[in-house]
C-alpha cells in the first residue's frame, strides 16, 4: 500500500487532469463520481459530459499517469455520462425534456444534409446518447426513407403524437402524416405551425440531443426553428464546389443574423477513393470547406468521402453508421461520420458547461 494513495491525494491529482474540450479540470467540473482504493489498485468513476466523448482516451491516459505517480499499480476507470443542457429560460419550454438541439443546414440543396443529419443521430445513439431527429423539411421530407420508416404512420392520442423509432433514434416527419406520395405545397405560416406541432405535441421524452434536418436554403423552416426553440448550434454541410460554398456562406450569415452559433462546416463528398485502383479522386474538388471555414473563422468539423455505400444505405433505409449496415465497420465514410458526431457532441458540451455551472451555483 502506498501511503500517498489517499482520497485527498487522488482528488488533488485529478484536479490536475483537464477535460481537453472544456479546458477545465475533472474535479472542478464535478466529473469524479467515485473512488475506490484497494491496496495499490484504484477504481474510479468519471462522469463525462457526453457518451460520445471524442477525447476519452486522452482523459484516461492522463488519469492513469497522474495516479501512477502516486504509486497506483492498476487504475480502472468506469465511464458514466450525463449530458447537460446547453440552454435555459422560457424559450426551451416547448421542448422541456430536450437538453440540446443541433441544426443541420446548407445553402445549396443536395449536398448531403439529410445524410449527415441521419448519420449524426445514429452515431450519437450508438454511442449511448438519447437522440431525436426532427425532419424540418416539410416540402421534401427524406428522413423517413433514409431511416427505413417510409411506410410508418403516426400514432398517439389526446393531441399527443408518438415519435417513430428506428436505428435507436426517435423521429418525427411530415411524411408520417401523409398518405401516398402527394407533394406537399405549404407556405410559410403553415410550415411554422407544422414545426411548432412537431416540437410541442410530440412525446420526445428525455433527449440528450435533438438533431434537426433543415431544408436547403435560408427559408421559412430555419427561421421558424430559430424563433421557436433555442438552438445549441448549427452544422453547415457543403460540398467542395464553388457554388455550394457560396451558398454555405449565406446559410452561415443567416444563422449569425438570428444569433445562432455555427459549430462549423462539414465537407461532404470530399474525395472518392476508387475501389479498383485505390487512388483518391477529387470529383467535386476538395478543401473548399477548409477555405470558407478559415475565411469565416469557423472550424472544419469533418470531411466525408463519397462512397457508394452511403447512397445505397440511404436508399435502403439503413444508414452507413448503423450497426445493421454490413459495411458500417469497414467504411471510411462511416468512420468519418462517427468522428464528426463525437466532435459535434464535444462542441455541445463546451456550450453547455456554463449553463451546468449556473444551475448548480
Ligand atoms: N458522402 C456521400 N457519398 C455518397 N453519396 C452521398 C454522400 N452524401 C450524400 N450522398 C447521396 O447524395 C444524395 C443527396 O443527399 P441528401 O439527400 O442527404 O442531400 P440534402 O442536402 O439533404 O438534399 P436536399 O437539399 O434535397 O434536402 C443522396 O442520394 C445521398 O445518398
Ligand atoms: Mg435533405
Q: How far is the CA of 113 from the centre of ligand 1 (A)?
A: 7
Q: How far is the CA of 140 from the centre of ligand 2 (A)?
A: 7
- Amino acid 298: pLDDT: 86
Handedness of CA 240, 117, 337, 77 (dihedral sign): positive
Give 264's strand partners. 235
| Ligand 1 atom with minimal separation from the 142 CA | 17
Q: H or E element: which one contains 125?
A: helix 113-126
> How many H-runs (helices) and E-runs (strands) does the chain carry?
10, 14
**Does the CB atom of residue 105 touch ligand 1 within 6 A?**
no
| Ligand 1: residue whose CA is nearest its atom 30 | 311
**Is 90 exceeded by the pLDDT of residue 245?**
no
Contact by Cβ (8 Å): 104, 98 = no
Determine the residue of 108, 139, 265, 311 to mutate for testing ligand 1's pocket, defined as the one with the most ligand atoms within 8 A of the Cβ atom.
311
Q: How far is the CA of 136 from the centre of ligand 2 (A)?
A: 9
Q: How far is the CA of 14 from the centre of ligand 1 (A)?
A: 44
The rounded mean pLDDT for the chain is 89
- Amino acid 272: pLDDT: 65
Q: Name the DSSP letter for residue 202.
A: B
**Is 70 exceeded by the pLDDT of residue 18?**
yes
Q: pLDDT confidence of 242, banded at 50, 70, 90?
A: low
Residue % of the chain over a pLDDT of 90: 64
Q: How far is the CA of 114 from the centre of ligand 2 (A)?
A: 4
Q: How far is the CA of 113 from the centre of ligand 2 (A)?
A: 5
Integer Cα distance of 23 and 162 in angstroms: 39
**C-alpha of 182 from chain center:** 31
pTM comes to 0.92
Which domains does the chain carry? 7-81 (3.30.300.130), 90-343 (3.40.50.300)
Integer Cα distance of 258 and 351 in angstroms: 17
**Does the CB atom of residue 115 touch ligand 1 within 6 A?**
yes
| Ligand 1: residue whose CA is nearest its atom 11 | 311
Q: Which of 74-78, 87-91, 350-354 has the lowest mean pLDDT?
A: 87-91
Helices (H), 127-241: 143-146, 188-200, 220-228
- pLDDT tens for each residue of 86-109: 998 777 888 999 999 999 999 888
Q: For residue 289, what are the CA distances in angstroms to 221, 243, 271, 274, 278?
A: 24, 12, 12, 22, 24
C-alpha cell at 232: 445549441
| Ligand 1 atom with minimal separation from the 237 CA | 21
- pLDDT tens for each residue of 282-339: 665 566 667 777 777 888 999 999 999 999 999 999 999 999 999 888 899 999 999 9
Highest mean pLDDT among 77-91, 198-212, 219-233, 235-249: 198-212
Dihedral angle over CA of 53, 135, 230, 83, nearest 10? -20
Q: pLDDT confidence of 246, banded at 50, 70, 90?
A: confident
Question: For residue 284, what are the contacts with CB-CB under 8 A and spacing of at least 6?
Answer: 239, 240, 241, 244, 269, 270
Amino acid at each position: 500500500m502506498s501511503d500517498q494513495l489517499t482520497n485527498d491525494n487522488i482528488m488533488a491529482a485529478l484536479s490536475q487532469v483537464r477535460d481537453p474540450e472544456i479546458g477545465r479540470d475533472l474535479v472542478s467540473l464535478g466529473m469524479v463520481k467515485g473512488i475506490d482504493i484497494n491496496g495499490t489498485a484504484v477504481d474510479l468513476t468519471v462522469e463525462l459530459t457526453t457518451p460520445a466523448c471524442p477525447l476519452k482516451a486522452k482523459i484516461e491516459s492522463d488519469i492513469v499517469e497522474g495516479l501512477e505517480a502516486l504509486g497506483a499499480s492498476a487504475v480502472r476507470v468506469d465511464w458514466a455520462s450525463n449530458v447537460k443542457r446547453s440552454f435555459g429560460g422560457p424559450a426551451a419550454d416547448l421542448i422541456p425534456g430536450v437538453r440540446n438541439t443541433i441544426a443541420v443546414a446548407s445553402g445549396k440543396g443536395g449536398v448531403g444534409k439529410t445524410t449527415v443529419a441521419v448519420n449524426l443521430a445514429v452515431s450519437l445513439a450508438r454511442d449511448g446518447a438519447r437522440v431525436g431527429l426532427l425532419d424540418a423539411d416539410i416540402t421534401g421530407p427524406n428522413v423517413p426513407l433514409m431511416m427505413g420508416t417510409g411506410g410508418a404512420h403516426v400514432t398517439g392520442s389526446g393531441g399527443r403524437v408518438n415519435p417513430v423509432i428506428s436505428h435507436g433514434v426517435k423521429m418525427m416527419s411530415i411524411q408520417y402524416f401523409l398518405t401516398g406520395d402527394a407533394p406537399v405545397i405549404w407556405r410559410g405560416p403553415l410550415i411554422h405551425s407544422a414545426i411548432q406541432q412537431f416540437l410541442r405535441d410530440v412525446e420526445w421524452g428525455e433527449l440528450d440531443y435533438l438533431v434537426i434536418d433543415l431544408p436547403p436554403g435560408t427559408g421559412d423552416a430555419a427561421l421558424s426553428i430559430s424563433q421557436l426553440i433555442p438552438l445549441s448550434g448549427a452544422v453547415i454541410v457543403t460540398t467542395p464546389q464553388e457554388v455550394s460554398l457560396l451558398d454555405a456562406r449565406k446559410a452561415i450569415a443567416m444563422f449569425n443574423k438570428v444569433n445562432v452559433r455555427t459549430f462549423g462546416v462539414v465537407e461532404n463528398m470530399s474525395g472518392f477513393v476508387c475501389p479498383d485502383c485505390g487512388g483518391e479522386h477529387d470529383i467535386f474538388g476538395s478543401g473548399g470547406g477548409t477555405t470558407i471555414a478559415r475565411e469565416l473563422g469557423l472550424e472544419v468539423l469533418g470531411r466525408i468521402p463519397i462512397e457508394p455505400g452511403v447512397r445505397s444505405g440511404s436508399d435502403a433505409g439503413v444508414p452507413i453508421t448503423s450497426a445493421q449496415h454490413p459495411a458500417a465497420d469497414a467504411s471510411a465514410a462511416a468512420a468519418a461520420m462517427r468522428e464528426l458526431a463525437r466532435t459535434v457532441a464535444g462542441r455541445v458540451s463546451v456550450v453547455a458547461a456554463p449553463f451546468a455551472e449556473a444551475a448548480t451555483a
